[in-house]
Amino acid sequence: MWMNSNCNAKSRRTQYMKKLMKYIDVDNYGNCGEKIRQLPEHIVKIQGSRNRTLKHIATYNWEAGKLALSRDYLFTIAIENSLTYDYISEKLWHPLAAGSIPIYLGAPNVYDWLPCRTDCIIDLRKFETPKDAAIFIKSVAKNKTLYESYHQWRKEPVSNKFQNILNYYARSSNHTLDCALCEMSHRVGQGEDSKKIKTDLKNTIGSF
């Protein structure tokens, strides 16, 4: 499943998906690419929208709809807007939370942020071509044991690095990245040394 509303992202994901979809069927619910499908009625009801497209997403709870839709699929395409370090968005977290395997292309250091000790994403960087990626995805879909291995992490403790991240936010008065950044900006504005704040953060969650 692929849901994308930004067709001109710096990551060129629309172009990548056009190539990938030559070799594997993908249900496309976004605004980009070919063979765009309408959202199922039950998803429209969940997100509270008036139509079965992604138009005017700021006016309804599209995140709830995307989570529910991911639950219906073995895999969810998760290609970020940008392929830069530490840039990780809901595109990764939503399928993990929903029980779908993310087919991921984004931050080169994504493994620093994952909760799993074993594989829990299909990393598109590992494949030379979209065709190679499609062949592997099909093999995972056909092999129950291999597919379930990508969900093994759900039965195990999260990775130490991810636990450190959770611990940091548990100790913080703010529980979202936006709030944490605002808090850091406020501390800088109050005269604290920005280098010290960054050092404190790295010492808390580990070096990335």
pLDDT on residue 206? 46
**The pTM is what?**
0.78
Same domain, 176 and 77: no
pLDDT on residue 22? 96
Please give the average pLDDT of every successive group of 10 residues along the chain, which has 208 residues.
88 94 94 87 82 64 84 96 91 93 96 91 98 98 98 90 77 60 69 72 49
Q: How many of the other CB atoms lie within 10 Å of CB of 94?
A: 20
**Helix, coil or strand: residue 134:** helix
Asked whether residue 122 is domain-assigned, the answer is yes
pLDDT on residue 117? 87
Residue 84 sits in which domain range?
Answer: 13-155
Q: Helix, strand, coil % (nearest 5) of the chain?
A: 50, 5, 45
Give the separation between CA 39 and CA 101, rounded to whole angstroms: 20
Q: Tokens standing for 184?
A: 């850091």
Q: Tokens standing for 8?
A: 């001109």
pLDDT on residue 207? 40
Asked whether residue 49 is domain-assigned, the answer is yes
pLDDT on residue 92? 94
Asked whether residue 73 is domain-assigned, the answer is yes
Same domain, 98 and 186: no
Same domain, 137 and 164: no
- Which of residues 155, 176, 193 is at a domain's end? 155
Q: Check: CB of residue 74 under 8 Å from CB of residue 99.
A: no
Same domain, 144 and 174: no
Same domain, 22 and 60: yes
Same domain, 108 and 168: no
Asked whether residue 193 is domain-assigned, the answer is yes
pLDDT on residue 131? 98
Q: Check: CB of residue 76 under 8 Å from CB of residue 100.
A: yes
pLDDT on residue 83? 94
Same domain, 61 and 123: yes
Same domain, 99 and 188: no
Domain count of the fold of the chain:
2
CATH number of the domain at 141, please: 3.40.50.11660
Q: How far is CA 37 from CA 30, 46, 95, 105, 129, in A?
A: 8, 17, 19, 23, 26
pLDDT on residue 82? 92
pLDDT on residue 208? 36
Same domain, 79 and 179: no
